[in-house]
Amino acid sequence: MSSPTSPLVLASASPRRSELLRNAGIAFTVQPAHVDERMLAGEAPEEYARRLAREKAQAVSQQRPGETVLGADTIVVVDSEVLEKPRDQADAARMLRLLSGRSHRVITGVCVIKAVSSIEDVRAATTEVWMRDLSEEEIQEYVASGEPMDKAGAYAIQGIASRWIWKIVGCYFNVVGLPVPLVYRMLQERSE
């Protein structure tokens, strides 16, 4: 299996991203990036996700010269509203009500900074997701489970919420938090 010519550093503390990379057989180490994740005024959702992925990769790349760094950021968009991680249980319930019975987009910005040359490759993947109608009781029980609290859009497609997702168009792994086929292609291109 081909892999990058230099060590890969994942600029994320996300256990889901780590698990996806491990499952794909991609060797890496973890060094979380600490950047301001606020959306800029007038920023389009895809540009926001791409910018945060780039800023995370850049922050870690400065500390890890000579290594290839992967930054990523996932957001959920319904209509024109960006749903990030909920602030609290009330915010999680609000998000789930917005997603109930309709489709939304999951966008993950991905940035690979190549070792030594500092060449940046920034891309984004979008997946359309349809969620069935949720009752208020289902929303409250799900929020009480704690699962939505550290997830963009307040749900985990690979967890309890899987029972409500009836259709997706695009990369499933993108919804989990990292579009693995895209990342693998980017890493292969960097190692050529």
Question: Is 73 one of the annotated active-site residues of the chain?
Answer: yes
Is residue 116 within 8 A of residue 174, CB to CB? The reply is no
Residues in a beta bridge with 74:
108
Q: DSSP 3-state assignment of 160?
A: helix
Instruction: Return the closest-CA partner of residue 178 out of 5, 49, 37.
Output: 49
Q: DSSP 3-state assignment of 7?
A: coil
Give the active site residue among 36, 73, 79, 91: 73
121-to-18, 52, 68, 70, 166 alpha-carbon distances in Å: 20, 13, 11, 10, 33
Is residue 128 within 8 A of residue 168, CB to CB? The reply is yes
Is residue 129 within 8 A of residue 103, CB to CB? The reply is yes
Is residue 45 within 8 A of residue 124, CB to CB? The reply is no
Which run of H or of E encompasses 89?
Answer: helix 89-99
Catalytic residues: 73
